[in-house]
C-alpha cells in the first residue's frame, strides 16, 4: 500500500490557517477580514470550509465577539507559532547590496591567487563593499571539492595540474589565463632550451604533487629537468632564485609584479605549453548566492583589467 505523506495537510487548504489565526486574535470576523484584505462574506465562507475540514465549530458568536471552542483554543498557539515560523523562513532572500553588506565569505586560495589577485581586489572592495569580510584559507588540494560540497568554503580560486573532474553540484569557470615565463638571477643573459635543461630548477608544489604540468610536457618531448628544490610556498621562491643559479617557471603576471621587489630577470619559456589557468569554483546551491555571484563579477572585471594592462 502506498504511503501518503502528510494526509491531514493534503486535505486542508493551508490558506485557511491565517483566517483561523486572525479570527482568534481579533475575536471578530470584520476585523479579521480587514487585516487579511478580504470581504466579510469571503472570510465567513473560509471559516465554514475550515469548520467542515476540522469537524469542529471552532468559534461561537456571543454578542459582537467570536469566542473560540475548546478545540480552537488548543489549536491556536500551534497555528500562530507555525505561521510565524513559515513567514520568517519563506521570506524571499533580499537582493545583495554591496555597499551595506557585512557578510563573510570563506575563500580557498593558493599563494599565487593571494599574491596576484587580492591586493587589487581589496582596493576595489574598500570602496564598493567596505563591510564585506573575507577569510582566506589555503587550498589543501585543488579544486577543493570536499570543502565546497561540505559548505566549509564559499569560493575556491585555484588551478589544477591535470584536467579537472567536473562535479554536477559545482560551478567551474575559467577566471584568468597567463603564459609561463622563466625567472633567473640577473647574471643570465639568454635562455635556450639547452640552457633550460642544463640548469637546476626551483619548483612550487602547493599540494606536494609529484609532477607538475611543465614536467609532464617535457616528458612528452623526451626531456627531464633537474629539480634542486621543491617548496609549497611561492613567497620565498623568487628571492631564492635571485641569489642562486636556479630557474623558476612562473606566470608572467606574477613575475612582473616581483621584478621591483627582487633582483630577477624574466625570459620566455623555451618550449610550448598550454597557458596557466586560474579557475573559480563555487557550489550551485550555496546559501550565499547573492554575494558569491557579485564577487565573481568583480573578479571577472579585475581579470579584464589585468589583461588590458599586459
Higher-pLDDT residue of 287 and 79 is: 79
Which 3 state secondary structure label does DSSP give 257?
helix
d(CA 122, CA 24): 54
Mean pLDDT of 233-238: 88
Residue 4 — pLDDT band, cuts 50, 70, 90? low
Domains and CATH numbers, the chain: 10-88 (1.10.10.10), 104-177+277-309 (3.40.190.10), 180-273 (3.40.190.10)
78-102 confidence digits (pLDDT tens): 999 999 998 887 877 678 888 999 9
**According to the model, what pLDDT value does residue 151 have?**
80
* Buried/exposed 19-43: b ≥16 CB within 10 Å, e otherwise: bbbbbbebbbbeebbebbebeeeeb
Residue 140 — pLDDT band, cuts 50, 70, 90? low
161-197 confidence digits (pLDDT tens): 555 556 777 888 888 889 999 999 999 999 999 999 9
Amino acid at each position: 500500500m502506498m504511503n501518503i505523506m502528510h494526509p491531514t495537510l493534503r486535505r486542508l487548504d493551508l490558506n485557511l490557517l491565517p483566517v483561523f489565526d486572525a479570527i482568534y486574535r481579533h475575536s471578530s470576523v470584520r476585523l479579521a477580514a480587514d487585516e487579511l484584505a478580504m470581504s466579510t462574506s469571503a472570510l465567513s465562507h473560509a471559516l465554514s470550509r475550515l469548520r467542515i475540514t476540522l469537524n469542529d465549530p471552532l468559534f461561537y458568536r456571543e454578542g459582537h465577539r467570536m469566542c473560540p471552542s475548546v478545540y480552537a483554543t488548543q489549536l491556536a498557539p500551534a497555528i500562530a507559532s507555525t505561521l510565524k515560523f513559515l513567514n520568517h523562513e519563506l521570506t524571499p532572500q533580499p537582493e545583495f547590496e554591496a555597499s551595506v553588506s557585512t557578510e563573510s565569505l570563506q575563500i580557498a586560495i593558493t599563494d599565487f591567487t593571494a599574491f596576484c589577485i587580492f591586493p587589487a581586489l581589496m582596493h576595489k572592495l574598500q570602496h564598493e563593499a567596505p563591510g564585506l569580510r573575507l577569510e582566506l584559507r589555503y587550498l589543501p588540494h585543488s579544486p577543493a571539492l570536499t570543502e565546497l560540497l561540505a559548505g566549509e568554503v564559499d569560493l575556491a580560486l585555484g588551478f589544477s595540474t591535470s584536467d579537472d573532474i567536473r562535479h554536477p553540484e559545482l560551478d567551474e569557470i575559467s577566471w584568468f589565463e597567463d603564459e609561463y615565463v622563466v625567472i633567473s638571477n640577473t647574471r643570465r643573459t639568454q635562455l635556450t632550451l639547452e640552457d633550460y635543461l642544463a640548469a637546476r630548477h626551483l619548483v612550487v608544489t602547493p599540494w606536494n604533487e609529484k609532477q607538475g604540468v611543465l614536467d609532464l610536457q617535457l616528458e612528452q618531448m623526451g626531456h627531464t629537468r633537474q629539480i634542486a628544490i621543491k617548496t609549497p610556498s611561492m613567497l620565498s621562491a623568487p628571492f631564492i632564485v635571485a641569489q642562486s643559479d636556479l630557474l623558476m617557471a612562473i606566470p608572467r603576471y606574477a613575475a612582473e609584479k616581483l621584478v621591483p621587489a627582487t633582483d630577477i630577470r624574466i625570459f620566455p619559456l623555451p618550449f610550448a605549453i598550454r597557458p596557466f589557468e586560474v579557475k573559480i569554483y563555487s557550489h550551485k546551491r550555496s546559501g550565499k548566492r547573492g554575494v558569491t555571484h557579485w564577487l565573481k563579477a568583480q573578479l571577472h572585471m579585475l581579470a579584464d583589467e589585468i589583461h588590458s594592462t599586459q
